[in-house]
Amino acid sequence: MVTESDSPVSMSNEALEKLLDQAGESIFVIDWKGRMAWCNKVVLKKLGYTKEQVIGRNFSGIVARGDVAAATENFLACMLGKTMGPFEITVLGNEGITVDAQITIVPQTVNGKISGVLGIAHDIREIKAAESAYAEALIKSQFSESLIQSSAVATFVVDADHKVLYWNKACEELTGTKASDMIGTSNQWKAFYDKPRPCVADLVIDGKTDGIEKLYATYSRSTLNKNGVRAEGWYPNLGGKDRYISFDAAPIYDAGGNITAAIETLQDTTASKRVQEGLEEVSAEAENAYLAVVENTGTAVMVINNDMTVSRVNKKFTELTGYTREEFEGKKKWSALAATAGDRKLIEKYHWMRRIDTNLAPKAYRFSLRDKAGNVKTVLMSTGIVPGTQQIIGSMTDVSDVEKSRDEYSTLLENTGTAVMVIENDMTVSRVNKKFTELTGYTREEFEGKKKWTSLVATKEDLARMKHYHKMRRKGPGMAPKAYRFDLLDKQGAVKSMYLNIDVVPGTRQSIASMLDITERMRARQAVERFHRQQEDDMKKDIEQLGGRIADLENEKAACESALAATLGSRKAALEAKEKIEIGDSLRGLEAKLDTSLKKGIKRIRRGITRMEKTDTKS
């Protein structure tokens, strides 16, 4: 919801607001989006709305459907900086109220930018009713004097010979000229001018409105009558006062379609005009402040219209180009500054692309400028659309000396042997070298100033990581690595392995990056890794096979040992049995021998005892 604080004209000044409320005319402000931003009490009273019902509403919602296109066209033209009107539309009020209004709108600026329009509307219902009634009466050739004389709108009628037929009371009061001095004469001009010249009604009678611009500074055709004419202007000492008068004249036809007369109405809009001019002065002060800033920017500045004509320049512009303001402002197109046909073509191309979509053309670029003396200079052009308008504000900086250094830098850049790109803060690539175009498949024209480096990253993982590096690198040194690897996607869709070195250009927010294609190296490395993995796999298989063979041999060994043990056991048992038999036999033989010997010994012992006994007996 738009509030009064959104209005381009501040309404905080109570005195100013009271003045606008008492102006007697409907005064309103529409913001750049077409919303009603403010209106005085006269608007609310005539339309029967409350302020809450009007503020924030798009103006098209309170304009009769048949007049929306014309009202919108006038609004857009005003937003381009033109004062529009007076024009006639029908405004829709509350509960079926309709108001025929004559409207003039002027652009309103804040800080040098058009932020909306100020409008003044005259209620012309009485005029329309009078014109309609007059026309009907005159077509019937009745020329009802009572109808004209009773009208509160100043009106006069002239016949086909430019003779005044009627000059009503309201016209007498407004002009200070008596009807008796006018009727029957062709002196209607005397009420307004010092010397003979046609009034608006005279132009309508003759059908010669093509030269009206020579007679009236502000004029237009009637929106309701294709042969009607409207004009306005200041008239000193009209009826004893300086007045701002709006004239409306329309032809009157007979039954055969021939012009028999013309009716002209006059309306005193002095009060509303003074308010308008007062507000324009306030706007002019703001504009002057803006111009003071522009004059001291330190760069050559120009305001460029939709047709490329330069409407305003500052002092630095005159110093850079050698042209005076009088020579350039409103007279030359800025493409006239281009030193070559190629530069001119580029300038015009960007100009129209910017009007289709502001993102289609670069906001900054270089071109060769030829000054008035014929000297060629390299300038950096920065541009931007003035909000709410079709105008462009451009600033030019002479970078001829920088360009020399740039050429040296470019030579170095072109011969580094690696693909190099210069990256702006917003990730746009502003400069590339030949190696870059060979590596990526893109031309300079396709990439420089148009694409971001992110379009080269092949994987989501690499992209997220590199965006984080980009952000951290601008926070301080050491916050992001200066070298790392990533996968690049070229124009043909091929993925390549890159080794990137990157750092911030000192004193700027630019980065300069060099890329080395290590795709073959990575492939070789991967091949070696695959070979080593294969060797390991083969060795594992050999070990597994050897382990199986060893297990088999161990099983065979165990079987052999078991068989040998069985065999040895059998042989041992046999030998033991044999030994037992042999021992038994030996023991038995020994026992026999021992028994025999023992027996013999016993016998000897016995014989000895016997002998001993015998001896003892003898003794």
pLDDT confidence band for 110 (50 / 70 / 90): confident
Structure tokens at 557: 């060994």
Same domain, residue pair 245 and 310: no
Half-sphere exposure (CA, 13 Å, Cβ side) for 148? 24
Whether the CB-CB separation of 59 and 26 falls below 8 Å is answered with: no
Counting the structural domains of the chain, the total is 4
- DSSP conformation class of 180: G
Whether the CB-CB separation of 113 and 392 falls below 8 Å is answered with: no
* 603 part of a folded domain: no
Q: Which of 64-73, 131-140, 272-281, 549-558 is modeled with the greatest confidence?
A: 64-73
Same domain, residue pair 314 and 273: no
CA distances (Å), origin 362, targets 68, 390, 424, 445: 36, 17, 13, 12
Same domain, residue pair 13 and 96: yes
Q: What is the pTM of this model?
A: 0.32
- Strand-pairing partners, residue 159, are 261
Query: Mean of the per-residue pLDDT values for the chain?
Result: 81
Same domain, residue pair 26 and 168: no
Same domain, residue pair 150 and 232: yes
Overall average pLDDT of the 576-594 stretch: 67
* 558 part of a folded domain: no
Percent of the chain beyond pLDDT 90? 26
Q: Looking at 485, 517, 549, which one is the last position of a domain?
A: 517
> Domain range holding 317?
297-398
For 381-405, the DSSP string reads: EEEEEPTTSS-EEEEEEE-HHHHHH
Determine the pLDDT at residue 299: 82
Determine the pLDDT at residue 106: 92
Q: Looking at 87, 108, 123, which one is the last position of a domain?
A: 123
* 283 part of a folded domain: no
| Whether residue 284 has pLDDT greater than 80 | no
- Pick the more confident residue, 434 or 209: 434
* 550 part of a folded domain: no
Digit-coded pLDDT (tens) for 114-165? 889 999 888 888 777 766 665 565 544 444 566 677 777 889 999 999 999 9
Same domain, residue pair 117 and 236: no
Same domain, residue pair 305 and 350: yes
Same domain, residue pair 132 and 258: yes
Same domain, residue pair 343 and 272: no
Q: Which of 44, 55, 103 is nearest to 78 (CA)?
A: 103
Helical H runs in 451-503? Answer: 460-473
Residue 577 CB: number of other CB atoms within 10 A? 10
pLDDT confidence band for 616 (50 / 70 / 90): low
User: Whole-angstrom Cα distance, residue 300 to residue 383?
Assistant: 12
* 581 part of a folded domain: no
* 537 part of a folded domain: no
Same domain, residue pair 304 and 436: no
* 532 part of a folded domain: no
* 135 part of a folded domain: yes
Whether the CB-CB separation of 185 and 156 falls below 8 Å is answered with: no
CATH of the domain at 270: 3.30.450.20
Lowest-confidence pick of 54-58, 143-147, 252-256, 378-382? 143-147
Lowest-confidence pick of 36-45, 65-74, 586-595? 586-595
Overall average pLDDT of the 368-395 stretch: 84
Q: Looking at 123, 150, 167, which one is the last position of a domain?
A: 123
Same domain, residue pair 62 and 161: no
Same domain, residue pair 47 and 153: no
pLDDT confidence band for 465 (50 / 70 / 90): very high
Task: Reduce the DSSP state of residue 68 to 3 states and report it.
Answer: helix
- Pick the more confident residue, 582 or 25: 25
